């Protein structure tokens, strides 16, 4: 895949999400309960002081980490959502450093800067090649002994079931409000580990969406 092709796909996803954020959609005001459970189970403020929150969206998970005492750098592809989050952080007397970095761009950080990397409900919005490139960047900026935790869509997720199939891993979303976004989904734990090229723990997270469809994601934890 050429760099121009990657940038073209990246712009599609960026435009989809910036439009949603401008309409104040997909801005959850509450944190993900599974994320909070795993945060408290595997992270401590002493060992995981510096955290990279990649694709922080509405920022609810990020604010949980900040209130717990972690230092957070956040990455998003939308200036709109960065502006919204900076306002919320100011109102709540919290502080994080937020960056606009497109998914084809290198992360603007030195090697081994972070004790942990979080990528919650965001990595699905990639091609397989851009996902693997981004995973490489996460491992580069993660300290030895650090944790990388996140989610990736599983077969049976609404984005997979309704998506236009490109190959076994790549789809074009047909979900209303996200139509046209590039997504990746994986059939099994092994497929996730193979795509990431990492030896990590993987488990399935599923919840009903009350319309007959499901949110199905693989949750993963990697320790460097």
What are the φ and ψ backbone dihedral angles of 119, each rounded to 5 degrees?
A: -140, 85
Provide the pLDDT confidence category of residue 213 given band limits of 50, 70 and 90.
Answer: confident
Q: How far apart are CA 41 and CA 117, in angstroms?
A: 15
Query: pLDDT at residue 148 above 90?
Result: yes
Q: Are 217 and 208 in contact (CB under 8 A)?
A: no
pLDDT at 20: 59
Q: How far apart are CA 168 and CA 187, in angstroms?
A: 9
User: SS3 of 97, please?
Assistant: strand
What does the block give as tokens for 86?
């900076």
Over residues 154-195, the pLDDT tens digits come to: 999 998 998 999 999 999 988 877 788 889 999 999 999 999
Query: pLDDT at residue 70 above 50?
Result: yes
Query: pLDDT at residue 55 above 90?
Result: yes
pTM comes to 0.89
Q: How far apart are CA 35 and CA 206, in angstroms?
A: 13
Provide the pLDDT confidence category of residue 6 given band limits of 50, 70 and 90.
Answer: very low
Q: How far apart are CA 152 and CA 186, in angstroms?
A: 8
Of 1-10, 21-30, 42-51, 121-130, the range with the lowest mean pLDDT is 1-10
Q: How far apart are CA 148 and CA 142, in angstroms?
A: 8
What does the block give as tokens for 76?
């998003």
Nearest alpha carbon to residue 96 among 72, 117, 79, 67: 72
What does the block give as tokens for 33?
């309960």
Q: How far apart are CA 134 and CA 123, in angstroms?
A: 9
Handedness of CA 201, 107, 167, 121 (dihedral sign): positive
């Amino acid at each position: 895949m050429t760099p121009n092709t990657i940038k073209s796909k990246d712009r599609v996803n960026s435009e989809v999400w910036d439009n949603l954020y401008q309409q104040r959609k997909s801005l959850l005001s509450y944190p993900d309960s599974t994320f909070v459970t795993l945060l408290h189970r595997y992270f401590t403020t002493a060992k995981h002081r510096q955290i990279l929150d990649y694709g922080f969206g509405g920022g609810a998970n990020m604010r949980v980490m900040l209130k717990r005492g972690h230092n957070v750098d956040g990455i998003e592809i939308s200036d709109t959502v960065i502006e919204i989050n900076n306002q919320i952080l100011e109102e709540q007397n919290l502080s994080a450093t937020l960056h606009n970095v497109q998914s084809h761009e290198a992360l603007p950080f030195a090697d081994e800067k972070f004790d942990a990397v979080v990528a919650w409900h965001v990595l699905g919005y990639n091609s397989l090649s851009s996902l693997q490139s981004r995973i490489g960047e996460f491992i580069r900026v993660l300290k030895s002994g650090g944790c990388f935790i996140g989610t990736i869509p599983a077969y049976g997720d609404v984005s997979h079931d309704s998506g236009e199939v490109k190959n076994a891993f790549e789809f074009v979303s047909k979900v209303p409000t996200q139509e046209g976004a590039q997504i990746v989904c994986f059939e099994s734990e092994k497929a996730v580990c193979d795509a990431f090229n990492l030896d990590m723990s993987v488990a399935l997270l599923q919840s009903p969406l009350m319309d007959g469809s499901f949110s199905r994601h693989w949750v993963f934890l990697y320790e460097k």
